[in-house]
Amino acid sequence: MKLHSTKGFVIYAKKMNEADLLLSYITEDYGKITCFANNARKSKKRFLGKLEPAMLTNIKFYEKPGMTLDILYEVDLVEDYKNLRKNIDVYLFLTKLIEISRVLCQERDVNKNIFNLIKNIYTGLNKLETLNSQDSRQTPLNPILLKFEIFFIANLLKFTGIYPNFTDCIICGKNNAYNEFGFSLKKGGVICSPCANDKNNGFKYLEIKKMPVNFINLSNLMIESDISIINKLNVKEDILMDCSAFLRDFLTFHTGKRLKSFETV
């Protein structure tokens, strides 16, 4: 067996029996990996307190030829984003991001951009003064989380290669110059009115969704900027909510299932 070492974030944990765990990580050097952690719930030296979400850890794991699971050997804490676990709203928000990562990312698909995206999101949220302040004048948390959510999902879609086509009608190629086209979940792109209404294209009325106000501009800006753009954007909460709902609908259609965290967060 070959021993590997890399940094990673826990995105899934499942109890296998009284002592063992099955864990999925987004890692810096190997993409998403799934490990079997023998006696993880009882081993104080190797694992205790280091298998939680909102932690960056250095993990050592064995890769054995012919096995579908890696064997987690040891975990060392690199950075603990403690503030994220102190606020229930933020922690529930993180469960959403984690579930999206687990569903969209493929095993051993190495992509450091995704690792860095998660790291930047955790770092940005952990620094929020709102989490540690009782000052009523502080910016409300929900609009901030919505901006983080849109930034995360838009960039994750970009890095996984499934960011939708908002530029041109996917039927006739007409340019969406004024961001006025509808969106086809089935086709994964925008549709101009003539193509949507053409019976020969076979679209049903409910298959074409109206795009939220300013969604395309906001989403494109998110994927073209670094995370500091979140603090610079002043967008009304109702617009952010509409944009978030649209992305959730797209993810639901793309994955073929409603993600559990969407029902609670």
Q: What is the pLDDT of residue 59?
A: 97
Enclosing H/E stretch for 63: strand 55-63
State the DSSP code for 175. B
Q: Which CATH architecture has domain 2-80?
A: Beta Barrel (2.40)
**First-last CA distance in the chain:** 41
**Residue of 186, 188, 246 lying closest to 213 (CA atoms):** 246
Contact by Cβ (8 Å): 2, 63: yes
Q: What is the pLDDT of residue 202?
A: 82
Domain limits of the chain? 2-80, 83-163+213-264
With b for 16 or more beta-carbon neighbours within 10 A and e for fewer, the 146-162 pattern comes to: bbbbbbbbbbbbbbbee
Sequential pLDDT tens for the chain (265 residues) = 899 999 999 999 999 988 899 999 999 999 999 999 998 888 777 888 899 889 999 999 999 888 889 999 999 999 999 999 888 999 999 999 999 999 999 999 999 999 999 999 999 999 986 666 555 456 789 999 999 999 999 999 999 999 999 999 999 999 999 999 999 988 889 999 999 989 888 877 667 889 998 999 999 999 999 999 999 999 999 999 999 999 999 998 888 887 877 776 5
What tokens does 130 get? Answer: 């709102």
